[in-house]
Structure 1
């Protein structure tokens, strides 16, 4: 049988998706995205196409329309069940209809239904959304066009958000992607990077404040499209004032002007360095079967579990003496390395490292809720603030329950999350970090996980910020009503985006001022910005839509997932959503072609979008099918038309595929027919082994107190023999560990300075140890070490 994917006909031919066009406008820290999907039904019967797609959790969908036969059909936003009933009624009467809805379980999964597309008919569906851009460790703004939707593991007895699709395999996709981006920043666009091939960056003026770039032809749709945008002055505070909608009610969110603040608190250098050895660090690591997959579709990419092991090695070596730690592995069940968190010593570190080396992706499903409850059931240690680090590929179905559990215990810990591999749930990763006042990171493709984890460790080791207050100074007669909550936690260099509504009359030539005040220890600090009270004419309603989404999210997360105050919350969410035309959990977009003069004739066939797949091994197939039921999508045939499902039940859909906002998805299925490794001929032998990373080798040899022993394993990293190293050791040095530690520091600074973000903490620990031990011999050690290694590291480089 020939390989096919996408929408399949009864003859196994791919229809109807023909092409996707994506246009992105990046203005400062916000992206406005318009995606158009083109369809053509070449069957002899009308078709209903239904498919699920991923979208960034922070996205605010504000427009949805379709065109059929030159007629534009504008969608209306309605309460979700009402929208479903409208869609159902339209199909039942033979009309053409479209339905776009957000999942009830996770904000980053959407479903699009294209109903009653007549035989031979062409149609296009256009979706627009705005989203805040995440800031990377190096200051880049990250925009991601998701191409991957992982099936979400759901505990027994619950409905699955995504599920396996049978009959698809890894052939080429039968449709095209056109992707272009327009970039604008007053501070200037410095450069753009991507994991995909791009056309050269084209500046639209000499000041380099605007530029454009496109995706090169031939993109294979096998990964997320990721743009990293670098501005000339990325950490400069900004304020954008946006006028209200003239047709909206004065005093409403949409009717009044809104201001968006982007603030970067800068801590004094002395306060931003790691302060002490206090802290309880708990590492929660996904060991489900999906962690055995590569980081991306690239054959040479390491497996996710291997990246997690390497990162745990670095974290354990970087912890300060005197802290406490523990490591949990979770899947269908969970295990802790120690019954309680243990003091960080040489012995406990060695015990933990031995167990880390044996960690595999062999725990079945992805049930994260139970280990979280176990962690929270244990009392915190006085004087040692708890820091939770979560590593997962994010294939979880009960997202809201997990986030709610973190939120209930936010007062006792901070939660830092890491989405590993393409398709990790942005709703889970961002939601847990937000609920736990931490920081989220995403690691895909050939990204090194270590620098991103080290940034979060820096955040965790920063001193606690207290007394956080946001003050406004505006002219008399003007009232500032906050839309977003004042931050509960601040990190050095971490951006905070805040929204506020301006009520009353004001002079547009006047100035407003916002200041974020906070305390570090006993020292007060302040970040402030002044702005003109003159609306920006180039933003449209971007700020209002993002503010509406922020308000909706805070309302939805305000109560428990069991529905406390649910009716009142839902009523207010629906009101804000419909007024702002921003989709929510409780609303959906529906469009009906009311200009159609006659009903669509013939039996209507239900079609699921089927994706190009990245398969799993047959062993994993057997394990997964025992954990989670596998079913084949049903083809529903009805005369004239038929209704949509009464509820959004992805189990009945078994969907994956091209999205309204992104290229076709690569569904990473549990119950697949072939394995990724079988396709790539690497199942038995594994990928070609690369030479072991010398930095990780050096890190693995460091002792808990920061020192190294002088032995053959260490000097082999320097490409020397043990005898060579001993012969060059200064005569006045009596402790060989001092000499070994100096050599390790010189090698890191002299030959691996490009990876300083990864080894900075363990080097500081080593330097502290060697200063206490070396005494007067330190100078001669540096000179002899540089001579042996061929390096030229100056004493000031080591802060000596």
Structure 2
């Protein structure tokens, strides 16, 4: 049956008609202005509620509403007070608007548009600022989340309130227009996107300013991801921003704030001399949603399939002598070994057999329990623990998970991977930030492998310790850090520092300079990096740096409040509320509230509620595989999460997703070893690179056999006949594999570089004769021209 008009799943009219987004990027900071246009075409007054995602580290700093010719600018107030004002306004027939952050996850917001009269239109303006994350290829990533996935609520969590209504993305009944302006001290080399863009337009001959927008006809059916590339991106920079003229000197908003962007460069001698070791723990999401495709294409891999391929590469790339274990989780969790085991041929083969049959069949997303179990395991002396977390990030208890990682950050580094669209940026970024690691997002047509292998290279870098930041400023200028202390440094990775500058900043002379020194110890070697910067404040920065600094401090205080909750500490929540109100930046304890008091005519008639649906591009693939539902006779023990508890007037029951029960594969080594031994992989490895990689042994060598010949595209006879006489079979096989990688797969070098290095180390240890002859014969056989020195031999 087809219905006319713009409808929700419940066949109700949708009041949200369009969204316009303008992005302003300055170097590596972005300001985002979203305008949401509502229209009430019904004959009754309307309340519209829209639950939607924002980037987890965004600082929401402006919220206003325009009705007819009247503009109402919202104020930041303590959350309960704002809710009461909103409810009071609605009950007295006034128009009101409420914007609040979820208490469980800082990347979910609820916007309530109250008492919109029949025939009336309202335009909502929402503004936030955000730092852009640096990707593996030095691109700066901006993501406008369109997809809000249902968040799995752990068993035993407290009750529900505002729910997420999702519709298939193709049926989202509102349009999107999106444009971006990019400016930087360095030339903009290119802008890429997962969506179709109009050509990049440069605004000056230096190419330091450019505009770009989405191509016409874009459907808001997936996240809008922009990757911005600058020339010479790794230059440290400093921005000093003048305080707000109306704010009191000595306060955060009244004083200048500096933002430092640092790129530490480690001494090459130290980096090359470090021996590889560590305990590598891989934690893999096997909830039902991991069975979804990586993007909307039916031909594309599922998330769990891509994760299996990635684990293969990781296991082949680990250094000999390290320790490892694999955990997987859904409703419950499994571990491959009782405790981490030494990496060798036997343990690697045992792990690969289990990885081949991993499936997305473990139900919900209970990530806290396996994390607690991992942290309960004693660390292995001289083997630093490195935790790799793979998830599509659909959990509701984000803050609890991040808090647990932070508590254990002294004993490990955590590398996180958000798989597919809609993964929680708050969870993925929070895990890496608090765990001293690195976050990566794998969306659209991205291959997971290059990003994961880059993180493995970071994990193999020695841990940087004894990090300190010292300031050298002119007399009369003092500094107050707004950022938490730096706990992690990686070669070439950016670190951002915010600080408040008090005193006569830049007043004495335009040439006044400050200097910041970062000292640290790397593998026992003391090192330092310095940055000199001008103290003259930049003009017309729109308080972006102040708001990001305030957001950084608010997040640190919120974390502190959670740690001390229930203790007689107090005062931290009050500090957050005070800072949030002063800076105009949202927090988990405040909300934006706007009431239209100018219209004296109360709105007549009962208020009708409409929940605006959010895009879920995987809804149909999730039905039957996402959450445990409830039949008429059985009680459900999991549900779609509440993002906004304690808001009694805003209760909505969403459509249930049902979970078809699979036979759960037991991933523990004891229970599954007997029946897994004969289990065939679900499908053969078709990718030639993965086929070759799967044949490499833990030591780094390859064995000469028919499988290797097939992977190289040759017969066994061809491979054996061309082998130089004095060379043993393993040396010949390994040299052939290296030539093939360099000759045919240079475009994927970041995926195989570590395992190739292992192969070279093994070859060098053999001290084999006739290596030059082998390389020449191998090139002839495979039709390549790879030089011996390129192979590292």
Residue 472 of structure 1 corresponds to 471
Q: Distance in 2 between matches of 1:601 and 1:341?
A: 67
Q: Distance in 2 between matches of 1:447 and 1:650?
A: 42
Query: Which is further off, 172-181 or 155-164?
Result: 155-164
Q: Distance in 2 between matches of 1:69 and 1:646?
A: 33
Residue 265 of structure 1 corresponds to 264
Q: Distance in 1 between matches of 2:253 and 2:688?
A: 57
Check the 8 A contact 2:90/2:115 in 1, yes or no: yes
Residue among 714, 718, 721 paired with 1:724: 718
Q: How far apart are residue 389 of structure 1 and its match?
A: 0.6
Question: Secondary structure of 2:736's match?
Answer: helix
Check the 8 A contact 1:259/1:501 in 2, yes or no: yes
Check the 8 A contact 2:396/2:641 in 1, yes or no: no
Q: Distance in 2 between matches of 1:54 and 1:106?
A: 10
- 1:487-509 CA-partner distances (Å, limit 9, x unpaired): 11110011001001111114241
Q: How far apart are residue 18 of structure 1 and its match?
A: 1.4
Q: Distance in 1 between matches of 2:648 and 2:150?
A: 14
- 1:730-755 CA-partner distances (Å, limit 9, x unpaired): 1111x211111000001111111111
Residue 535 of structure 2 corresponds to 533
Q: Distance in 2 between matches of 1:361 and 1:383?
A: 35
Whether 1:781 aligns to 2:774 is yes
Residue 610 of structure 1 corresponds to 613
Q: Distance in 2 between matches of 1:621 and 1:392?
A: 14
Residue 43 of structure 2 corresponds to 44
Q: Unaligned stretches of 5+ in structure 2?
A: 661-682
Structure 1 pair 80–39 and aligned structure 2 pair: CA distance change class (3 A):
same
Whether 1:762 aligns to 2:755 is yes
Structure 1 pair 293–744 and aligned structure 2 pair: CA distance change class (3 A):
same
Structure 1 pair 655–87 and aligned structure 2 pair: CA distance change class (3 A):
farther
Residue 486 of structure 2 corresponds to 487
| Count of aligned pairs between the two proteins | 760
Check the 8 A contact 1:393/1:420 in 2, yes or no: yes
Q: Distance in 2 between matches of 1:314 and 1:522?
A: 31
Whether 1:551 aligns to 2:545 is no
Whether 1:594 aligns to 2:597 is yes
Residue among 585, 589, 608 paired with 2:588: 585
Check the 8 A contact 2:629/2:639 in 1, yes or no: no
Q: Distance in 2 between matches of 1:3 and 1:622?
A: 29
Check the 8 A contact 1:608/1:654 in 2, yes or no: no
Structure 1 pair 160–264 and aligned structure 2 pair: CA distance change class (3 A):
farther
Whether 1:130 aligns to 2:125 is no
Q: How far apart are residue 371 of structure 1 and its match?
A: 0.8
Question: Secondary structure of 1:603's match?
Answer: coil
Residue 340 of structure 1 corresponds to 339
Question: Secondary structure of 2:115's match?
Answer: strand
Residue among 773, 786, 797 paired with 2:790: 797
Structure 1 pair 134–273 and aligned structure 2 pair: CA distance change class (3 A):
farther
Q: How far apart are residue 173 of structure 1 and its match?
A: 3.0
Q: How far apart are residue 716 of structure 1 and its match?
A: 1.8
Q: Distance in 2 between matches of 1:5 and 1:574?
A: 43
Q: How far apart are residue 650 of structure 1 and its match?
A: 11
Check the 8 A contact 1:345/1:704 in 2, yes or no: yes
Q: How far apart are residue 597 of structure 1 and its match?
A: 1.9
- 1:48-87 CA-partner distances (Å, limit 9, x unpaired): 0002111111100000000001110110110000000000
Q: How far apart are residue 766 of structure 1 and its match?
A: 0.4
Residue 682 of structure 1 corresponds to none
- 1:577-597 CA-partner distances (Å, limit 9, x unpaired): 000000000000000111112
Q: Distance in 2 between matches of 1:114 and 1:350?
A: 58
Residues 383-782 of structure 1: matches in 2 within 5 Å?
Answer: 383-506=382-505, 507-509=508-510, 510-560=512-562, 562-564=565-567, 567-613=570-616, 614-616=619-621, 619-620=624-625, 623-625=628-630, 628=637, 647-648=646-647, 652-654=651-653, 670-671=657-658, 692-733=686-727, 735-773=728-766, 775-782=768-775
Structure 1 pair 250–357 and aligned structure 2 pair: CA distance change class (3 A):
same
- 1:665-712 CA-partner distances (Å, limit 9, x unpaired): xxxx84499xxxxxxxxxxxxxxx998111111111110000111122
Q: Distance in 2 between matches of 1:743 and 1:377?
A: 44
Q: How far apart are residue 522 of structure 1 and its match?
A: 3.6
Q: Distance in 2 between matches of 1:739 and 1:93?
A: 85
Q: Distance in 2 between matches of 1:552 and 1:465?
A: 26
Q: How far apart are residue 276 of structure 1 and its match?
A: 2.3
Q: Distance in 2 between matches of 1:170 and 1:650?
A: 28
Q: Unaligned stretches of 5+ in structure 1?
A: 634-644, 657-668, 674-688
Query: Which is further off, 440-449 or 346-355?
Result: 440-449
CA RMSD in angstroms comes to 2.4
Structure 1 pair 419–646 and aligned structure 2 pair: CA distance change class (3 A):
closer
Q: Distance in 2 between matches of 1:162 and 1:709?
A: 59
Q: Distance in 1 between matches of 2:455 and 2:574?
A: 38
Structure 1 pair 42–672 and aligned structure 2 pair: CA distance change class (3 A):
farther
Q: How far apart are residue 629 of structure 1 and its match?
A: 5.4
Q: Distance in 2 between matches of 1:632 and 1:140?
A: 34
Structure 1 pair 456–533 and aligned structure 2 pair: CA distance change class (3 A):
same
Structure 1 pair 793–161 and aligned structure 2 pair: CA distance change class (3 A):
farther
Residue 372 of structure 2 corresponds to 373
Residue 79 of structure 2 corresponds to 80
Q: Distance in 2 between matches of 1:136 and 1:162?
A: 34
Structure 1 pair 452–465 and aligned structure 2 pair: CA distance change class (3 A):
same
Check the 8 A contact 2:294/2:301 in 1, yes or no: yes
